[in-house]
Structure 1
Amino acid sequence: MSMDRKREQLMQNWVRTQLNDSKMVITPLTGDASFRSYLRAKSQDKSFIIMNAPPEKEDIGPWITIARRMRNASLNTPEIFSEDRKNGFILMSDLGDTTYLDALNADTVDVLYRDAISALFGMQQRCKADDLPVYDEVRLRTEMNLFPEWFLERHLGLKIRASERMIIERVFEKLVASALEQPQAFVHRDYHSRNLMRRDRENPGILDFQDAVRGPITYDLVSLLRDCYIEWPADKVLAWVNQYRDRLTKAGVIGDRELRFKRWFDWMGLQRHIKVLGIFARLNYRDGKPGYLKDLPRVLGYVLQVAGKNKDLGPFAEWLVDKTADIDLTQPREEA
């Protein structure tokens, strides 16, 4: 999001004071799905990142708290050099321009995911979660309710009948139960290729962690391996899942040869992807950010892949296939 002139001048003056450099150069960076924006400051051959988070829109306090917690756990998050909580500015280290999404291909994926999976395991093992918001039933359902409101009704233009709501509700009940029966740990909530930075040392750099919660052990794993922005063959994903399960078993987090782990993983992904269908539609219609519509077919594919192979979820999959057939999900729908 763009800054008004007054706020831009306020930020520039603050950064100049922090860096003690009147000749620094500030350039904007691509924004994300939030109200925050980021800029790069070049000063005396050094590079810094500025976070601009208007205080009436976002509180930078959680970002600062989680950033320091993760750095103290030997994870590569930005180092905070200065903060202005009143005005919503942070001056931090620069983790570069190369996201995992930019760097991932068939030749690099194994090494990059090895590092990301190792960092995830360390995050779950070393980051305190007891004082974080809990990923409870209310939070899980609030997220999934974006699906009927924004994807089904607004994007597809459906009028959902009572019988159809019952089909959806039965799925929601199963997904909530599966999430809550898992071991609970530190959850990043957006651990995927756009928030991981490829680094030559201490790979990966980790961003966008401010919404961390205490939640299901498989949540971040499925965010990474069934990424909304890039897809990998099912056999590769299964191998990574089994490797992670073995790590958790050796660490005593889950029981020996935990047979439920794959179902936990699949159903956690289904909860996340149902939510994301609603979020991506909302980003277009409410927030004027149409760029996420192009990823809807991939996300829907994940939903149908999991729901379609489980007899308990089959009616939902069949219904959703029927409602999305012959529709170009990447195109916005005009209101009648």
Structure 2
Amino acid sequence: MTEKGSIPAFLARAGWSDALRAPLAGDASARSYERLTRAGETAVLMKAPPGPEIARFLRIGAWLSEAGFSTPQPLARSDEDGLLLLEDFGDALMARRLADHPEEEPALYREITEMLLALHRHAPPEDLARLDGAGLASLLDLVPAHYPCTDQTAAAQLKSAIAETFETLSQEPFVMCLRDFHAENIILLDRPGLARLGLLDFQDAVQAHPAYDLVSALQDARRDVSPSVERAEIAHYAAATGLDLDRFTAIYALLGTQRALRILGIFAKLCRVDGKPHYLAFMPRVWAYIERNLSHPTLGHIAALLRAAYPRPTPDLIKELQADAPSP
């Protein structure tokens, strides 16, 4: 992370040295954020590890903006310091709107699906990594390293089964997938049409199956999405694209299983390595997604391997993980 002294110099160069600074809620990454306020204007300061992350964020953001989607525009940057000054989209998080107005859930998730349908009409940048069967399997490497594993052989076989099943089911061209796409990373803007959805946290975008971001939004680790809304949006996406609903539902369940299992590994790592145990509270919801996905008849062999390899996150298991958290 950037040194303290570089921030005042960066803000001075950007013309924001007189701004008031207030921390904003961070995420599970190494990034942190501040809101700057001066003379009625605001901006967001993103602090990231020095390196390629700033350039990647700006490149993906520019691609999305050119395609007609809302991403925060850059005001100033310092790649060597890991600093980026951005347009402030405000505080109207979709997650907050859903909490305050649950009756709007069907309409808001329909907007998400429509945005994904629009996004997927654009050919993705060719240089993005492809999340194919082997890629999906490799993302599971961190799980047994941090989440309790009761059978290493079954865990290895599970990775292979996920990769093979994906290659069997997947027939669609890959699309741009934002990966960490959920209601906490969407700001509701006063803009028309699909531009109303302000997108955040997209620098890890990849080429992947069209169902990937739909799973990310509808099987949200941080909040419950009504099963009726989930079913409606799966059906809506399949109908709008002409995809076979049965096969699309199967690959949705497969990707949901892979994502949820990886998330368990990430949350365990955040606790045991990074000292962020509050993410463990989301584990029961994530495991419920795994159980829901594994009920799909196509995934019987994967269900057997997963249950052999990994235990349910019971209260006792969560306590054991909490006990491993490093002292502050």
Name the TM tier (shorter chain): 0.7 to 0.9
SS at match of 1:34: coil
Structural mapping, 1:105-124, within 5 Å: 105=99, 106-124=102-120
Match of 2:304 among 315, 326, 332: 315
Match of 1:331 among 312, 316, 319: 319
Q: Normalising by structure 1, report the TM-score.
A: 0.85
SS at match of 2:225: coil
SS at match of 1:64: helix
| TM superposition shift of 1:127 | 5.7
**Are 1:308 and 1:318, in contact at CA under 8 Å, matched by a contact in 2?**
no
Structural mapping, 1:184-263, within 5 Å: 184-201=174-191, 202-249=195-242, 254=243, 257-263=244-250
State whether structure 2 residue 292 is matched by structure 1 residue 292. no
Give the RMSD, CA atoms, in angstroms. 2.4
Q: Aligned letter for 2:247?
A: R
Structure-1 separation of matches of 2:139 and 2:255? 12
Q: Aligned letter for 2:284?
A: P
Q: Provide, for residues 187-243 of structure 1, a one-character-per-residue CA deviation record: whole Å limited to 9, x for no partner.
A: 111111111112232321110000111111100011011111112232321111111
**Are 1:179 and 1:268, in contact at CA under 8 Å, matched by a contact in 2?**
no
| TM superposition shift of 1:60 | 1.2
Q: Normalising by structure 2, report the TM-score.
A: 0.87
Structure-1 separation of matches of 2:290 and 2:80? 42
Structure-2 separation of matches of 1:186 and 1:211? 11
Could you list the runs of 5+ residues in structure 1 that have no partner in the other structure?
none
| TM superposition shift of 1:23 | 2.3
Say if 1:179 and 1:283 are closer, same or farther in 2 by CA, change over 3 A.
farther
Match of 1:44 among 33, 39, 43: 39
| TM superposition shift of 1:328 | 3.9
Partner of 2:21: 26
Say if 1:52 and 1:138 are closer, same or farther in 2 by CA, change over 3 A.
same
**Are 1:294 and 1:329, in contact at CA under 8 Å, matched by a contact in 2?**
no
Q: Aligned letter for 1:90?
A: L
SS at match of 1:130: coil
Structure-2 separation of matches of 1:9 and 1:144? 38
Structural mapping, 1:86-97, within 5 Å: 86-97=80-91
Partner of 2:64: 70
**Are 2:32 and 2:46, in contact at CA under 8 Å, matched by a contact in 1?**
yes
Partner of 2:143: 147
* Higher-helix-fraction structure: 2
Q: Provide, for residues 34-92 of structure 1, a one-character-per-residue CA deviation record: whole Å limited to 9, x for no partner.
A: 11111111122101011111315x63111110011111111111011221122221111
| TM superposition shift of 1:247 | 1.7
Aligned-residue identity in percent: 27
**Are 1:190 and 1:209, in contact at CA under 8 Å, matched by a contact in 2?**
yes
**Are 2:235 and 2:245, in contact at CA under 8 Å, matched by a contact in 1?**
no
